[in-house]
Amino acid sequence: MPGMSPAPARTSREAILVAARELLEEEGLDAVVMSRVAERVGVRGPSLYKRVPNRAALIRAVGDAVAADLGRVIDAALRPGSADAAEDIRTLGRAYRDFVRRNPNGYGLLFAHLEPELQADPDVLADLGRPIVATMARLVGAAGALGAARTFVAWAHGFMSMELAGSFRLGGDVDAAYATGIELILAGISESANRG
């Protein structure tokens, strides 16, 4: 028949991304091996290169997908019209932690310091911050919003980074420390806003 390909596609870029992300979460970044990804989607290693340029690009694309999911989580927590911005930040803090614990290795990809060619699109990451800045603006005004958002995000990210790395080894309740941290940051934010 005219228009019929001599060899129909047996997989898709989407299936490859899903397989790579599963492998990442199940066994870590080292397990994301081209031949293993290929096996999961039913082809051989070399066939992947029809859909992705190379392994680094595949991993970057997985990071972009994780970032997109995280963006949806952030947007769901922050309703622009809500009356209580501080409560939105609390909701965001909890949702953020839930997301990271459900996607630990994918999240690790977003802020991995190493090997820039594996890094997700920086513009996508920057966009994650915008709704948080907007919510902070409702809390402390436009002038202090960026600084407040950066402090909150740095704290939340640092906390999760350390929790995932198993760095909380001095005892105490980690759940409680997270809740305390949110309140401490919120207190510091309103304190700083009142002073300046």
* Interatomic CA distance for residues 69 and 59, integer angstroms: 15
Distance CA 96, CA 110 (A): 14
Least Å from the CB of residue 76 to a second copy: 21
166 touches a second copy (CB under 8 A):
yes
Is 188 among the residues that bind a second copy (CB under 8 A)?
yes
Query: From the list a second copy, DNA, none, which binds 71 (C-beta under 5 to 8 Å, kind-based)?
Result: none
* Cβ 56 to a second copy shortest distance, Å: 11
DSSP state letter for 173 = -
Say which entry of DNA, a second copy, none residue 141 contacts (CB below 5 to 8 A, set by partner kind).
none
Buried b or exposed e, range 74-104, using 16+ CB within 10 angstroms: beebbeeeeeebeebbbbbbebbbebbeebe
Measured from the CB atom, the residue of 15 and 112 that comes closer to a second copy is: 112
Q: Is 7 in the site for a second copy (CB under 8 A)?
A: no
**Distance set, CA 180 to CA 85, 88, 162, 183 (Å):** 18, 16, 16, 5
Size of the site for DNA (CB under 7 A): 22
Cβ neighbour number for residue 4 with a 10 Å cutoff? 6
Of residues 84-143, those binding a second copy (CB under 8 A) = 104-105, 107-108, 111-115, 119, 122-123, 125-126, 129-130, 133
Q: Footprint of a second copy on this chain (CB under 8 A)?
A: 28-30, 104-105, 107-108, 111-115, 119, 122-123, 125-126, 129-130, 133, 146-148, 150-151, 153-159, 161-162, 164-172, 176-177, 180-181, 183-189, 191-192, 195
